[in-house]
Amino acid sequence: MVESRVPDPGRPGVPRSTASQAELFAHLFGTTQVAATPPLRGSELPAVPRIPPPPVFKPRPATGAGPTAPSAPTGLADSGLSLLQVCDLLLKQLYLGGGLLGVDMARQARLPFNVIDEALLFLKDEKCVEVTAGEIIGRVSYRFALTDLGRIRARECFEQCRYVGPAPVPLETYVKQCLKQTVTGTVCSMAALQDAFSELIMRPDLLEELGPAVCSGRSIFIYGPPGNGKTMIAKGLGKFLNKFGGEIYVPYAILAENSIITIFDPTVHTATDNDDLHGAEMGGGEFAHNQVERMMHANPPDLRWRRIRRPVVITGGELTLDMLDLRYNATSNFYQAPMHIKANGGVFLIDDFGRQIVSPRDLLNRWIIPLEERVDYLTLATGRNFQVPFEQLIIFSTNLDPKQLVDDAFLRRIRHKILIDSPTRVVYTEIFDLCCKLRGLAFCQESLDYLFRTYYESARVPRSSDPRDLLEIVVSICRFRGIEPQLTQALISEAALRFFASL
């Protein structure tokens, strides 16, 4: 049982159990200096003797490819935030939480306690916070609450910005991290591509075109007649990067021009560090052990960042120019990053290009500078703008005539143009056979010969999606008639009459 009583003034030192607890907090939260400092002025809580520096722990080697995690700040100056910015965040935390322990405030801010300790001291001197309870191990275990003046200050902070969450990282730090985890640095091999596209049947030389496009990390223009798998191929590239591209890091939020912009989005980013973040709250066990071990590293990771798989953001006909700008919430007074910024380090797919509400020319003009300079410019509600990285594999996919959509100036900026044409009879047969297997139907050569003889050898061009659509109609006919799903020439003929009907 941990002893938390105040030591007898006549007995020097701290009880062994309390010193062990203090040492644990020192390891976890970098509080060796805090533990040695006197308590907050006005508090009658005892001081804690100086604790020897914790031993240096070497982190375990990374298990996957990808950039290294940003290191946790060693102090307030190293965090990239000002004293007042940290104070505002802590005031809002206390306003919503009532009374909070120092360790809980550090966890909510995703900062080491010694980073927020200076802000707590400042708020105490300014009569904005008070200590309502505490343990012997130092301010990290004190319970802080707002004073009447502190509640007034907290309401003023909420009027300026209602963001309450992990502390933001400076824009400069975000830019540096994006440049470390570009798509260009992804290792791409034929074997990895074949694995990512194992569920698709395509012409044999297509991967030879896709591979260099991925290695370049530049833009790709996929075009061709509808129904031949352009979207599936674009998604396959996203699957490749998501599976083989290694893990990257994105911040919860960034601080640009004194404004907060949220970046991490659970609907877009697949986090891979959930066990690390929540292990301590899961009641011990292996997860808690991993959490303690990670925090005791000589250079622990900055918890303001999340480790994720390379993101894949897909947009289609709903894309508008407004969706490519910062989204400002006038009530909350902070911003949400646009989709293409959330896709940094991954794939941004513009599907059905040319069918958006906005004209293709206006949309293309929006991408001229990002494609050329690899940067984008975002504008705040105040009118000030700032530069952010544009480090992603952007894919344009269209079934319209490219000559009617883009000009030579734009095509020059698109490094790779890949035609996805109609399948040959050999490829079509493989697709037809696979679709039969997926639906539990026996492959029927007579049905396939009938389709080519009646339709494809005359005027109609085969599409890669035709086998799927035709067989779905066949299965529907069988279900309606109450018979076992089967494939015959008569049934495929009936399905083709409905599917290929001239309108």
Examine the domain organization and report whether 65 and 138 are in the same domain.
Answer: yes
Rounded alpha-carbon distances, angstroms, from residue 71 to 66, 104, 263, 309 = 15, 20, 19, 19
3-state secondary structure 144-176: EEECHHHHHHHHHHHHHCCCCCCCCEEHHHHHH
Supply the CATH number for residue 83's domain.
Answer: 1.10.10.10
CATH value at residue 328: 3.40.50.300
Mark which of 146, 167, 188 sits at the end of a domain: 167
Query: Is position 52 within any domain?
Result: yes
Q: Which helix (H) or strand (E) holds 477?
A: helix 466-481
- Same-domain pairing of 340 and 242: yes
Measured between its terminal Cα atoms, the distance across the chain in Å is 82
What share of residues in the chain are helix, strand, coil (percent, to 5)? 45, 15, 40
- Do 327 and 450 belong together in one domain? no
Averaged pLDDT score across all residues of the chain? 81
Q: Answer yes or no: do 449 and 315 share one domain.
A: no
User: Is pLDDT of 157 > 80?
Assistant: yes
User: Tokens in use for 464?
Assistant: 């890669």
In a domain, 182, yes or no: yes
Domain-ending residue, one of 389, 421, 453: 421
* Rounded-to-integer distance, Cα 211 and Cα 417, Å: 13
Q: Which DSSP state fits 257?
A: T
| 453 and 347 in a common domain | no
pLDDT in tens, 472-493: 999 999 999 999 999 999 999 9
pLDDT: is 45 or 428 the higher one? 428
Residue 288 covered by a domain: no
Please check whether residue 228 is in contact with residue 138, taking contact to mean a CB–CB distance below 8 angstroms: no
Q: 59 falls in which pLDDT band (50, 70, 90)?
A: very low
Please determine, for residue 11, whether its predicted confidence score (pLDDT) is greater than 80: no
The residue among 90 and 238 whose pLDDT is bigger is 90
pLDDT value of position 410: 77
Position 273 scores a pLDDT of 85
pTM as predicted: 0.77
Per-residue pLDDT, averaged over 259-283, amounts to 78
The number of distinct structural domains making up the chain is 3
pLDDT digits (tens, 9 = 90+) for 419-474: 999 999 999 999 999 999 999 999 999 999 999 999 998 888 999 999 999 999 99
Full residue range of the structural domain in which residue 216 is found: 177-269+311-421
Query: What angle in degrees, to the nearest 10, is found between the helix axes of 148-160 and 83-97?
Result: 110
Token pair of 42 as six digits: 């006005």
- Choose from 143-147, 241-245, 286-290 the range with maximum mean pLDDT: 143-147
Q: Count CB atoms within 10 A of the CB of residue 126.
A: 13
Nearest to 396 by CA among 280, 286, 315: 315
What is the pLDDT averaged over residues 40-50? 36
Residue 428 to residues 210, 237, 265, 444, 488, Cα–Cα distance (Å): 21, 22, 40, 14, 18
Q: What is the pLDDT of residue 503?
A: 67
Tens digit of pLDDT for each residue in 170-214? 999 999 999 999 888 778 888 888 888 888 888 878 889 888 888
| Residue where a domain stops, chosen among 387, 421, 455 | 421
Q: For residues 382 and 366, what is the distance between their CA atoms, to the nearest angstrom?
A: 21
pLDDT at 33: 40
- The helix or strand, by DSSP H or E, that contains position 305, with its residue range, turns out to be strand 305-309
Q: Is 292 within a domain? A: no
Residue 286 domain flag: no
Task: Indicate the SS3 state at residue 250.
Answer: strand
In a domain, 282, yes or no: no
Q: Percentage of residues in the chain with pLDDT exceeding 70?
A: 81
Q: Are residues 162 and 58 in the same domain?
A: yes
Q: Is the predicted pLDDT of residue 266 greater than 50, yes or no?
A: yes
Q: What is the pLDDT of residue 66?
A: 65
Contact 427, 465 (CB under 8 A): no
In a domain, 306, yes or no: no
